[in-house]
């Protein structure tokens, strides 16, 4: 799942539509050409101080959990300010010698805002109300963008796009964790 020696894969997709954001992640963890686990949970709900955020991660699991803990503490320090918390996390991630070594990416949303956060210091607000990361991310992104032309709801778009990614990317499976968060 991470980017360490021999580790590959994951697909995380976020879709915003109809006043909600759906973040979906596959469950496959691979080491080389071997599937180690098929039901990993790479999408989590965080509730620091009663403020709900959904986050999906690609990369090293331990690194991602470290980043999620840091994000929670940033959200506790800046309640209700997801963008500010993400920017503060990205600044720390880029400048702290320990954090610089972490190999993961995050998609986070509070239902109204949606961001991709990277170790390069990026806090990106995606266009077209769709974001994706991981080895199958480009497949899921392309599929979701095409499905946004339909009248499907956010969860249906996410599930169909993830199924397409799982059919194409050998490091992505169809065992999904799906979390929905409402705007406001």
> Is a pLDDT exceeding 90 seen at residue 174?
yes
Collapse the DSSP code of 24 into the 3-class scheme (helix H, G, I; strand E, B; otherwise coil) and give the result: strand
Percent of the chain with pLDDT over 90: 73
For residue range 135-169, list pLDDT tens digits in order.
Answer: 999 999 999 999 999 999 999 999 999 999 999 99
What is the model's pLDDT at position 8?
53
Annotated binding-site residues read 166, 169, 172
The position carrying tokens 């499907």 is 152
Topology of domain 7-172 in CATH is 3.60.20
For residue range 11-47, list pLDDT tens digits in order.
Answer: 999 999 999 999 999 999 888 889 999 999 999 999 8
Annotated binding-site residues for Na(+) read 166, 169, 172
What is the model's pLDDT at position 3?
42
> Is a pLDDT exceeding 60 seen at residue 77?
yes
CA atoms within 13 A on the CB side of 105: 23
Residues tagged active-site: 10
For residue 162 the two structure tokens come to 């993830």
Report d(CA 21, CA 7) in Å as an integer: 29
Strand order, beta sheet including 53-59: 43-46, 53-59, 104-109, 114-117, 123-124
Average pLDDT over residues 85-104: 89
Please answer whether residues 78 and 84 qualify as being in contact, where contact means their C-beta atoms are separated by less than 8 angstroms: yes
Domain ranges of the chain: 7-172
């Amino acid at each position: 799942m991470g980017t360490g020696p021999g580790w590959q894969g994951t697909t995380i997709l976020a879709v915003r539509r109809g006043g909600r954001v759906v973040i979906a992640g596959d469950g496959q963890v691979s080491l080389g050409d071997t599937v180690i686990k098929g039901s990993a949970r790479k999408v989590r709900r965080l509730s620091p101080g009663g403020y709900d955020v959904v986050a999906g991660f690609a990369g090293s699991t331990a690194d991602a959990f470290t980043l999620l803990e840091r994000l929670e503490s940033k959200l506790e320090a800046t309640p209700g300010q997801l963008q500010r918390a993400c920017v503060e996390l990205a600044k720390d991630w880029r400048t702290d010698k320990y954090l610089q070594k972490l190999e993961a990416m995050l998609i986070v949303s509070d239902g109204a805002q949606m961001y991709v956060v990277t170790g390069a210091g990026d806090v990106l607000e995606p266009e077209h109300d769709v974001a994706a990361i991981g080895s199958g991310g480009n497949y899921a992104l392309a599929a979701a963008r095409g499905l946004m032309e339909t009248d499907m709801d956010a969860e249906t778009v996410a599930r169909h796009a993830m199924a397409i990614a799982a059919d194409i990317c050998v490091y992505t499976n169809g065992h999904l964790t799906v979390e929905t968060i409402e705007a406001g």
